[in-house]
Chain A
């Protein structure tokens, strides 16, 4: 029966994701049941659906587990120094405004070491898409406490539990002026795919936070099982609240997670604001910058 069914369709479709990946570099370095691969899969599907010209998409990553993404995607990619993907991406965008620049990095890279760059890119509304994979910990360097580690969670540097207040990233992004803010988990694959597609097509600083399991360091140190157990936790404890007030979406250790699309608004981008301002100031003497 089954073999007959397979033979009906002679041209068995190929995995469309493989076109977007450097398959010669597989298998990737991520641990078994790590959530980063899932988000890359969703990103590739979103890229396919967005209809963007791949010659004009550039991906920028920093250092860390998620920082490896730039090396695995078959796009113009930029693997930058620790915490600095946003400055490199800003430069890329300003030198070539036709490019669609995507920053794909982790929580430690973007909000701890590169925290200042993050808030200023959001303030200026530089036209880029930032995809932040939040696994609550510094993965690659050995499980140190990150600004996103929830209170009570154990990390290598906090063996008795973390006592620092953690970042509420959607609130941070919105208050700094991001025009698109969404949070999903690696379990919500269809939503992640849709959110990334919307963020890619949005003009301005768009921010998507994706919570992902870290089986080797976060789950194991906190005795939460493996990646699958954390995915089941995401499934059972997530509440979808679109347009929720970002002040109320903070995360607690193994508590409820509010997911959804929180902000979608319009604001003048950095380059448009510059051209508009100088055109008003200097009149015909100023030639608007177009790259």
Chain B
């Protein structure tokens, strides 16, 4: 049972354009799976952009993409592999 659930788990990732980020951290706060955190690095404007904590946590729901006021992040789901 546990194995089938493991297989069904959706996986996805996020693409972050760090230069556009203004560090509001909406994506970090409202990510349903807590897959994002603020980076220690600075971008050109002096804000901390988000980074993915772990690839396994992201399910590609794109809530970060809807939340982002600066169009700097979006999530996507991986296409299913052919058997």
Contact A27 B78 (CB under 8 A): no
Taking the nearest CB of chain B, how far is it from the CB of A25, in angstroms?
Answer: 11
Contact A8 B78 (CB under 8 A): yes
- Known A-B contacts A26-B71, A37-B69; the reply to A189 vs B78 at CB < 8 A is no
- As a 0/1 sequence over residues 36 to 66 of chain B, the CB contacts with chain A under 8 angstroms (1 = contact) are 0000000000010000101110000001011
Q: List 18 additional A-B contacts (Cβ < 8 Å) besides A31-B22, A33-B69, A189-B67.
A: A5-B11, A8-B79, A8-B81, A9-B78, A12-B76, A13-B76, A17-B65, A21-B71, A26-B70, A30-B69, A33-B26, A34-B69, A37-B70, A40-B69, A41-B68, A227-B24, A228-B25, A232-B29
Q: Pick 15 A–B contacts, CB within 8 A, sort by A.
A: A1-B55, A2-B55, A5-B11, A5-B13, A15-B65, A17-B74, A32-B23, A37-B70, A38-B69, A41-B67, A45-B66, A190-B63, A228-B24, A228-B29, A231-B30
For the complex, what is the distance from the CA of A26 to the CA of B45, rounded to whole Å? 13
- Known A-B contacts A28-B70, A38-B67, A41-B66; the reply to A12 vs B15 at CB < 8 A is yes
- Known A-B contacts A5-B78, A8-B78; the reply to A38 vs B71 at CB < 8 A is no
In the complex, chain A residues whose CB is within 8 Å of the CB of B11: 5
Taking the nearest CB of chain A, how far is it from the CB of B60, in angstroms?
Answer: 10
- B interface SS class: loop
In the complex, chain B residues whose CB is within 8 Å of the CB of A5: 11, 13, 55, 78
Complex interface residues of chain A between 25 and 66 (CB less than 8 A to chain B): 26-28, 30-38, 40-42, 45
- As a 0/1 sequence over residues 212 to 230 of chain A, the CB contacts with chain B under 8 angstroms (1 = contact) are 0000000000000011100
- As a 0/1 sequence over residues 1 to 31 of chain B, the CB contacts with chain A under 8 angstroms (1 = contact) are 0000000000101010000101111100110
Pick the residue among B15, B29, B65, B81 that contacts A41 (CB under 8 A): B65
In the complex, chain B residues whose CB is within 8 Å of the CB of A231: 26, 29-30
In the complex, chain A residues whose CB is within 8 Å of the CB of B22: 27, 31-33
- Known A-B contacts A2-B55, A15-B65; the reply to A38 vs B26 at CB < 8 A is yes
In the complex, chain B residues whose CB is within 8 Å of the CB of A33: 22, 24-26, 69
In the complex, chain B residues whose CB is within 8 Å of the CB of A239: none
Taking the nearest CB of chain A, how far is it from the CB of B48, in angstroms?
Answer: 11
> Which residue numbers of B lie inside 8 Å of A, CB to CB?
11, 13, 15, 20, 22-26, 29-30, 47, 52, 54-56, 63, 65-71, 74, 76, 78-79, 81
For the complex, what is the distance from the CA of A218 to the CA of B12, rounded to whole Å? 37
For the complex, what is the distance from the CA of A21 to the CA of B72, rounded to whole Å? 13
Taking the nearest CB of chain B, how far is it from the CB of A46, in angstroms?
Answer: 10
Pick the residue among A1, A16, A36, A235 that contacts B69 (CB under 8 A): A36
For the complex, what is the distance from the CA of A251 to the CA of B83, rounded to whole Å? 55
Taking the nearest CB of chain B, how far is it from the CB of A183, in angstroms?
Answer: 18
Taking the nearest CB of chain B, how far is it from the CB of A187, in angstroms?
Answer: 7
For the complex, what is the distance from the CA of A45 to the CA of B79, rounded to whole Å? 21
In the complex, chain A residues whose CB is within 8 Å of the CB of B20: 26-27
Task: With CB as the reference atom, state the residue of chain B lying closest to A193.
Answer: B66
Is A245 an interface residue, CB under 8 A from the partner? Answer: no
For the complex, what is the distance from the CA of A23 to the CA of B20, rounded to whole Å? 11
Contact A9 B79 (CB under 8 A): yes
In the complex, chain A residues whose CB is within 8 Å of the CB of B56: 1
In the complex, chain A residues whose CB is within 8 Å of the CB of B30: 187, 231, 235
For the complex, what is the distance from the CA of A135 to the CA of B47, rounded to whole Å? 24
Contact B69 A41 (CB under 8 A): yes
